[in-house]
Amino acid sequence: MRVSALLIAGIALPALSGCLATRQEIEDLRADIIRLNTTLQSQQKKEAEFQSALQENQEGLQGNQADLMNKMGELTHSLEALSSQLVESDDRMTTLSTRLDDLDKNVSNRLDAVVKTVQGVKSIPAPSPSRFYQAGYAEFTKRRYAQALQVFQNYLDQYPDTEQAPQAQYYMGEAHLAEKNTEEALDAFDAVIKNYPKSGSVPAAYLQKGKILEGEGKISEAIAIYDALARKYPHRKEAQTAAQRLRALRGDKDPAPKPAAKPAPKPAPKPSDSGAGR
């Protein structure tokens, strides 16, 4: 019994130390994201104030208009830079969280394997979450949508609270959409929005939901979805597409051409081959 305890300790301690280090990295990065969001909101407020000043005093600002426009340009540049930093920070957060998921699950799987070995029971360790997810993603990219749906559903059944769970749910929607199962696709995209409201996959899910509703002729519902996307995620590229669709559906000038309901840009980068992160 003492030998089994030493075996368990020998496996758990190094992995747990890795977990602690990764958790600290995530906390530090989360603080950076909060700071960037605060700065971004401040810059957006300043930009709105400048726009308001230009509109209210357009006739009397001929002498200072050039200076104000320069400042507006600087603010716009700052907003773009901050948005880029937020995207990079989100990507780093996803990578670190995926590593933490793998570490947590690997520790649990290894401890189970050790206990079963001590008890004389043979076992096959379960795959890490990232490798499991990667298997489903590989099926999706090969257009084997039925297989992808099965793998992703199994992933969600086993790892419903991991970092890549919302992405798995999102790609289930894309797979259903590729097979023209629009109702199932809507359900999958709704699940992303409802079950993972803080995920980076949510804007893409909103956009795809809006496109499906628009394609089905449910214009008022599509407008509501596009409007929610544009308001909640103004710095995301999906919001720009939503704004174009809103102009088109509301009859504004120079509307963008109506797109077909097809897969949107990927909500997250393709996973790496490593089982301990991406």
- Residue ranges of the chain that CATH labels 1.25.40.10: 129-249
Amino acid at 207: L
Cα distance between residue 235 and residue 84, in whole Å? 9
Cα distance between residue 64 and residue 50, in whole Å? 12
126 and 109 in contact (C-beta within 8 Å)? yes
What's the pLDDT score for residue 116?
A: 41
CATH class of 2-118: mainly alpha
What's the pLDDT score for residue 181?
A: 97
What's the pLDDT score for residue 273?
A: 45
What's the pLDDT score for residue 251?
A: 85
What's the pLDDT score for residue 34?
A: 72
**CATH fold label, 129-249:** 1.25.40
Q: What is the pLDDT along the chain (278 residues), one digit of tens a residue?
A: 444 444 444 544 455 455 555 666 666 666 667 766 667 666 666 666 666 665 666 555 455 666 666 666 666 666 666 666 666 556 555 555 555 555 554 544 443 443 344 444 455 556 788 899 999 999 999 999 999 999 999 999 999 999 999 999 999 999 999 999 999 999 999 999 999 999 999 999 999 999 999 999 999 999 999 999 999 999 899 999 999 999 999 986 444 445 545 555 556 555 544 444 43
Cα distance between residue 228 and residue 46, in whole Å? 23
238 and 207 in contact (C-beta within 8 Å)? yes
- Residue ranges of the chain that CATH labels 1.10.287: 2-118
What's the pLDDT score for residue 127?
A: 75
238 and 189 in contact (C-beta within 8 Å)? no
- Total residues belonging to the chain: 278
Cα distance between residue 104 and residue 162, in whole Å? 10
201 and 167 in contact (C-beta within 8 Å)? yes
Q: What are the DSSP calls for 235-265, one per residue?
A: TSHHHHHHHHHHHHHTT-SSPPPPPPS-PPS
Cα distance between residue 278 and residue 180, in whole Å? 31
